[in-house]
Amino acid sequence: MGDGANVETKWVYSFGGGSSDGSAALKNLLGGKGANLAEMASLGLPVPPGFTLTTEVCTAYYDLEESYPGGLDAEVDEALKALEQKTGKVFGDAANPLLVSVRSGARASMPGMMDTVLNLGLSEVTVQGLAAKAGERFAYDSYRRFIQMYSNVVLGLRHDTFEYILDDYKDSQGFELDTEMEAGDWKEIVSQYKAAVQDKLGKPFPDDAREQLWGAIGAVFGSWMNDRAILYRKLNDIPAEWGTAVNVQSMVFGNMGETSATGVAFTRDPSTGGNTFYGEFLTNAQGEDVVAGIRTPAPISRARADELKSDEAPLEEVMPRVYKQLTDVADTLEAHYRDMQDIEFTVEDGVLYMLQTRNGKRTAAAALKIAVDMAKEGLISEDEAILRLEPAQLDQLLHPTISPSAKRDVVVKGLPASPGAAVGQVVFDSNEAAHLAEAGRAVILVRVETSPEDIHGMHAARAIVTARGGMTSHAAVVARGMGRPCVCGAGNLQIDTEAGVFRVGGREVKKGEIITVDGAEGEVLFGEVEMQQPDLSGDFGVLMAWADKVRKLNVRTNAETPADVNVAKEFGAEGIGLCRTEHMFFDAERIPVVRSMILAGSKEGREAALEKLLPMQRSDFEEIFRIMGEQPCTIRLLDPPLHEFMPHSEAEMQEVAASSGMDIKALKAQADALHESNPMLGHRGCRLGITYPEIYAMQARAIFEAAVAVASETGAKPVPEVMIPLVGTRKELDILKAVVDTAAKAVFSETGTVLDYLVGTMIELPRAALRAGQIAETAEFFSFGTNDLTQTTLGISRDDAGRFLTSYEEQGIYEKDPFVTIDQDGVGELVRMAAERGRATRSGIKLGICGEHGGDPASVIFCHNIGLDYVSCSPYRVPIARLAAAHAVLNKG
């Protein structure tokens, strides 16, 4: 035993027999399983007694270079003695042997990651005692199971070593099933197993109960550092320092004949959340048999059996008295823990024992229903119900999904990049996708990978499938932002664009054929599969209304098409935080006019083209104001560099030259001249507005004319907030605010209607954040453009495929993609500082955020904490932001 341990430390906690040293509150020390066993025992529930070696033993074990802290062996001895007293059995005794299970149990559940040993304590001597009580056949069957399990987990031998022996033996006897094996057969197997251990390891299988126990304890602590466990912890953010506990518990046998059983149950349905007892069981079996799937378990209740159309008799009918006791225990546990429980139980010769309880994992739909039901039942408060649902989980509920009863013929599996499901015809080209969608067709865009040039095709498509790229590829990020289902990285897809076909596993899908995409599962399915629409009323509406009562932040949306604005409004958006006007210029009818404006050599030429654009923009804004009523609409004036509107391909150049009557060479020269070598920082945003004020003047006029028109049409007063992009100094804003104010004044005097409006700016450059104090002298609001602010602060952008530097994440240079979460690497600091400086100049200045971070739950909480007025995000993220904003309030303090 190592030294250096604190003598005060209690390493071992006993439970069972009506009392416990520990409780559920000691989860960090006892692990989830140990803490809940202690709690259940204290509640007087039938828990086989046992004891827990704490997670601190694990930590000490590794600190002491894999030796145990001083005093541990004495505490284990004492706990064993107490256990012998409680059970009336003796560890290692020939006549009345105590047998135990040894199981891991970390703070966070790590299913299947670590090791378990059952039936420990069996030996040549103790097996006799067990035989005397439970029969020879049962005793030797248990013994051979123990030898196999222990040899695998503790001694490191492979399972198949033992499986071959058993198979050979059965063959030699002409047996098919284990049930044909008699006591003598198992006895023979035991001796062959032991011989195999001796043969492989050069030493005998341990026959001493205590030696076995310490071997198993060491194996469980050792399994904390196995590769599987390490990987699982990494994926789930579980620190290695937490350690695992070890639970030593007296054995109960579910495999002692037809009056014994073992099973797993949930106090409510974990897939729908319905308040029905849910679960399955096997008679005459041990726990592993349920998990191993060798025999199919039977449903627990009559109702469940009917639902599954199962012919198997449910526990409710096989053991009615036990069933009643089990449902009583389930009720007690749910009322006590105030959450849905996932329980494991064993029935030994008609007597029920509880082996585990924990909060059950559940789908998003179940989480929602259970939270709302429990609040209505008075089990939890509305605030607790709000906290029971992770904002990010909502994403699963906001998209149409494949009906659970639908038949699935899978074409290919990839990554579940963006949830939801969609049906449509296969298209390989983004332009074609856009054309077909315009003609009212449902299309699925299938590409090797996507780039920013595919945006229109992605927007037009119902879903996106790519052969390459991960969960943060361009396709994945953009699809999630747009709320489009997406499967990416489907590596087996061979796309032959020329032939208009993709092939996978010997099957072929041609352009135009119908497929279904299941973004939540990452599957592409043949044909049209039946869907179900998300239900935004019912429990969803109830929970969101509770969240709305609590939250302080307003939630707006980034949207410009009437379709998106409508969706956002349905999802509860309270205004528009960003209407990107440039998107309105890409329309097929408009782009030639935009190009003629850009190519005009003079102010007059530009103004003539702008005159044609004015009514188009006005009607865009009218539609938006009509939908949003008196809710604020932040409309951003033209932002991107002009080359984005220029033709790119040779064919397009030809077409534009022909229609504009321009010489193709001159056209190319113009396009080249406009090309920004650094489009992020070049001649764009307010810089463009300052060079060509007539563009902003036209846009401002369109906004005010639309607002006045809708006001007189509907009687509701639109609330325009005109936003100038890419400002770095107050002077820039002064010049452009004057352009906007002039347009407003003109429209108001022409129409005789005066409306309130604001002029403000984006804070999306570090310089703007630094100058926020001066900028606020002119700006009536700030909206943090954290997309550009992240790129310009970090000096790093996403690549063309939308990927952030993966190597940086892998090496821990950035913990999380800073384009997703704001509060790291300076971006959050700049936002906080600019907010403070802005407020210092203009108290009550309206502050919001419209970068992608506005839809990230952690960033929403950050925005709440620094006192922003609102967050704005893409339509499908609006409910997520509403819930996150409520969490921000409730998690405080």
- Give the residue numbers annotated as catalytic, written as ranges: 474, 850
In the three-class reduction of DSSP (H, G, I as helix; E, B as strand; rest coil), residue 650 is classed as helix
Q: Which of Mg ion, ligand PEP, none interacts with 879 (beta carbon under 5 to 8 A by kind)?
A: none
CB of 822 to Mg ion, least distance (A): 15
Q: Which is nearer to ligand PEP, 342 or 764 (CB)?
A: 764
* CA end-to-end distance (rounded Å), the chain: 43
CB 208 within 8 A of CB 123: yes
Q: Which of Mg ion, ligand PEP, none interacts with 578 (beta carbon under 5 to 8 A by kind)?
A: ligand PEP
Q: Which is nearer to ligand PEP, 120 or 871 (CB)?
A: 871
Q: Which is nearer to ligand PEP, 269 or 564 (CB)?
A: 564
Q: Which residue is nearest to Mg ion (CB)?
A: 788
List binders of Mg ion among 729-788 (CB under 5 A).
764, 785, 788
Q: Which is nearer to ligand PEP, 637 or 706 (CB)?
A: 637
Q: Which of Mg ion, ligand PEP, none interacts with 523 (beta carbon under 5 to 8 A by kind)?
A: none
In angstroms and rounded to an integer, the radius of gyration of the C-alpha atoms of the chain is 34
Q: Which of ligand PEP, Mg ion, none interacts with 851 (beta carbon under 5 to 8 A by kind)?
A: ligand PEP
CB of 481 to ligand PEP, least distance (A): 10
Q: Which of ligand PEP, Mg ion, none interacts with 786 (beta carbon under 5 to 8 A by kind)?
A: ligand PEP
CB of 448 to Mg ion, least distance (A): 29
Strand partners, 526: 515
Q: How far apart are CA 818 and CA 826, in angstroms?
A: 10
- Long-range pairs for 642-645: beta carbons < 8 A, 24 or more residues apart: 642/598, 642/674, 642/683, 642/688, 643/671, 643/674, 643/675, 643/676, 643/679, 644/582, 644/679, 645/585, 645/586, 645/591, 645/594, 645/595, 645/598
Binding residues with Mg ion: total (CB under 5 A): 3
Token duo for residue 428: 């390989």
Q: How far apart are CA 555 and CA 877, in angstroms?
A: 10
Q: How far apart are CA 450 and CA 463, in angstroms?
A: 13
CB of 789 to ligand PEP, least distance (A): 6
CB of 115 to Mg ion, least distance (A): 52
Token duo for residue 282: 């096997």
Q: Which is nearer to Mg ion, 371 or 477 (CB)?
A: 477
Q: Which residue has the tokens 């506005």?
A: 854
Residue 378: burial class (beta carbons within 10 Å; 0-12, 13-18, 19+): exposed
CB of 562 to Mg ion, least distance (A): 23
CB of 887 to ligand PEP, least distance (A): 23
- Edge-to-edge strands of the sheet including 443-447? 410-413, 523-526, 514-518, 421-427, 443-447, 463-466, 486-488, 415-418
Token duo for residue 354: 């509880």
Q: Which is nearer to Mg ion, 638 or 710 (CB)?
A: 638
CB of 582 to ligand PEP, least distance (A): 8
Q: Which is nearer to ligand PEP, 578 or 695 (CB)?
A: 578
Alpha-carbon dihedral angle through residues 799, 801, 803, 808, given to the nearest 10 degrees: -50
Q: Which is nearer to ligand PEP, 382 or 764 (CB)?
A: 764
The footprint of ligand PEP (CB under 6 A) covers: 578, 580, 639, 764, 785-788, 850-851
Show the site string, 786-815: x = touches Mg ion by CB under 5 A, - = not: --x---------------------------
> 496 φ, ψ to 5°?
-115, 90
* Number of Cβ within a 10 Å radius of residue 47: 27
Q: Which is nearer to ligand PEP, 315 or 868 (CB)?
A: 868
Return the beta strands (E) in 8-164 as ranges. Answer: 12-16, 19-20, 50-53, 90-91, 97-98, 100-106, 116-120
> Does 848 contact Mg ion by CB under 5 A?
no
* Number of Cβ within a 10 Å radius of residue 284: 17
Residue 783: burial class (beta carbons within 10 Å; 0-12, 13-18, 19+): buried
CB of 581 to ligand PEP, least distance (A): 10
Residues that bind Mg ion (CB under 5 A): 764, 785, 788
